[in-house]
Chain A
Amino acid sequence: MEAALRQLPETVPALTLPAEAPAKAKAGPAPLPAVPTDRVARWLRLHRGQLRAMALGLVSIAIFVAIWQLLTVNRATFYVRFTNVPSPADVLDRAILAFHNPIFGEHIWMSCRRIVYGFTLASSVAIPLGLLMGRFQILREIVFPICEFTRPIPAIAWVPMAIMLWPTNEESIVFITFLGSFFPILINTLQGMATVDPVLVRAARCLGAREASVFREVYLPASLPQIFTGLTVGMGVAWVSLIAAEMISGQFGIGYFTWEAYSLVQYSDIALGMITIGVLGLGSSFAIRVLGRIVMPGGTAR
């Protein structure tokens, strides 16, 4: 007891968060709140914010699914008609079936492959081009006007042209995906170059850095956060463009799967296709975020 008393004054105020105190006081009849010494309790306390966000996220998704279920089972109609919309349970059944069917895996695989090709090509052209355009005004003055007038054309509008341009369907779809992600990456890289702090460039030159070193050591790392913004946006647009292209001209691919489901009156598959696209999009932007953390160890946004 004596030990506990001695311990309390120094540990309790330091460890207990103010917001937690009333909850604890209510929690038990014990006269003194337990001093959380074990690591699990500490971890829980330190990650309270994240845990709450996760719990709330799960609850809100559950509510969304529940409302969906209610609307579809009762075939609700109030201007919007849920008569033909599949219920979550139907979609789940179809999903289980689909995952046992190798064709569905093939659809996903084809879409992912097209994204990887188109997106990788776009990044490997747009990033160096953006860096060079940012550094050399002449190049910017030559290339920018072309960009400005091709940029507003949505990638989907390129579909007929792409089919004419490329010998195979596969190539034209990759081309559409490339176009979709190209401009966001290019524009953001340019923006990143434009916002490089000139004092950093001057500091580097005062320390003996020549042109190539300034480029590698200052311009590139200073633009990286903005480049990654471009990659994230570009990835989103790549999916939009891919799905549209697949719906119009694909054989295989998750966009094609979704459109085919509509044509074949497989309504559950429409929702399954949509959810799959959502999950794939989420996964790919997560992958870019992870890549960003690896490439920028000092963190982003400065």
Chain B
Amino acid sequence: MAGTARGLIEVHDFCLRYETMEGAVDAVSDVSLNVQPGEFVSIVGPSGCGKSTLLNALAGFLTPSGGTVTVDGEAISGPSADRGMIFQQYSLFPWKTVRENVEFGLKMKGVSRSERERRARTLLGLAGLTPFENHYPDRLSGGMKQRVGIVRALATGPRILLLDEPFGALDAQTRLIMQQILTNMWQRLKISVLFVTHDIDEAIFLSDRIYVMTARPGGIKAEVAVPLPRPREPSMTLSSEFLGLRRGLMSLIREESIRAMGGEVSLDSLKGLAINLEGQDLSAVL
């Protein structure tokens, strides 16, 4: 593909603060990360660590309280079709057929009806969705809905693709298939991907690099490169390399999860019970 600098994501000292009656609370603080053009990067971390917040800032739904968030050097000023986003909840328009859903972004761009139809048909063909192009979303399975969602986000030719736990609601088998479909599409399109998940296996299987986030206020705890060769096969999940990565990531995240839970439990709710979690080794329990 031409345009080698297409899709460079740079985040510097990103902070997100919100006001409460008790004062300002940091949801995310001082996050710096980057995604090189054509790279597949995942963010993993305990729930509530601000992974999605970061993604929403990249999509243009949130303005950072501090720091900069840029794509190809340009600051983000609002949502745009340049940055495709896939949500965990199925977000297909239920009143539009599969093809009309895929055409939506092109329609917003003012592409003519016949051209839209042509492009949507091509993409649906690539994703193996041609037989369903005239179906309404309620007749599709969860995996198929999400596949249509990905095709829809790619139809406008975005520079980057942001995925917010896109396969979280799918069963394990469908998940594996979806991961392969996503990898295939990513390799064909050479698009930069930032993928948020809490599933470590998924992150390793898909990514070139993984960022591990800390518990609230979210920050970057570690950056892990995934040196597994491509194309990746499901059998690789049993290789010693994969398992080694998995073990390392697990312990990183476990620390943070305990910290996240300890932080919550030590609040007023359990004060009367005289439980002191500090200094206890909880890893055996969890």
Query: Residues of A with Cβ closer than 8 Å to B?
Result: 197, 199-200, 202-210, 213, 217-218, 221-222, 224, 296-299, 302
Contacts and interface: CB of A to CB of B under 8 A. Distances in A.
A297 B134 CA distance: 12
Given A296-B95, A302-B138, A207 B105 contact: yes
A149 B59 CA distance: 42
Given A199-B87, A202-B85, A202-B91, A298 B136 contact: yes
A221 B95 contact: yes
A158 B91 CA distance: 45
From A204, A205, A208, A222, name the one whose CB has the most chain B CB atoms within 10 angstroms.
A208
B95 A206 contact: no
Given A203-B85, A298-B136, A208 B109 contact: yes
From B79, B80, B89, B138, name the one whose CB has the most chain A CB atoms within 10 angstroms.
B79
A222 B83 CA distance: 24
B93 A200 contact: yes
A206 B79 contact: yes
The interface residues of chain A, by DSSP majority, are classed as: helix
Interface residues of B, number: 28
B85 A204 contact: no
Given A299-B136, A302-B138, A204 B95 contact: no
B125 interface: no
8 closest A-B pairs by CB? A208-B81, A207-B105, A203-B91, A205-B79, A208-B108, A206-B85, A221-B95, A302-B94
A302 B139 CA distance: 12
Contacts of A202: 59, 61, 79, 85, 87, 91
A205 to B, nearest CB: 4
A200 B78 CA distance: 16
27 contacts: A197-B89, A197-B91, A202-B79, A202-B85, A203-B91, A203-B93, A204-B104, A205-B61, A205-B78, A206-B79, A206-B84, A206-B85, A206-B153, A207-B81, A208-B79, A208-B80, A208-B109, A217-B93, A217-B104, A218-B93, A221-B93, A222-B95, A296-B95, A298-B94, A299-B136, A299-B138, A302-B138
B156 interface: yes
A131 to B, nearest CB: 16
B152 interface: yes
